[in-house]
Amino acid sequence: MRTIAALLIMITVLAGCQTTKAQNSAMFGSLAGATLGALTFNNKVSGAAIGAGSGLLVGYIIGNEMEKYDQQQVGRTLEYTPSGQTTTWVNPDTRTRYEATPAPVRQYDSGRIERDVTLRARMADGNMETIYAKAYRQPDGTWQLVQ
Q: What is the pTM of this model?
A: 0.56
**How many CA atoms are closer than 13 Å to the CA of 97, on its beta-carbon side?**
8
**Rounded distance between C-alpha atoms, residue 114 and residue 92, angstroms:** 29
Domain that includes residue 105, residue range: 67-145
List pLDDT tens digits, range 96-126: 899 999 999 999 989 899 999 999 999 888 8
Number of domains the chain contains: 2
Kindly state whether residues 84 and 115 are assigned to the same domain.
yes
Kindly state whether residues 14 and 82 are assigned to the same domain.
no
Residue at a domain's end among 48, 64, 80: 64
Q: 86 vs 28, 46, 97, CA distance in Å? A: 27, 35, 13
Q: Give exposure, 41-75, as e/b (b: 16+ Cβ within 10 Å).
A: eeeeeebbbbbbebbbbbbbbbbebbeeebbebbb
Kindly state whether residues 8 and 47 are assigned to the same domain.
yes
Kindly state whether residues 75 and 138 are assigned to the same domain.
yes
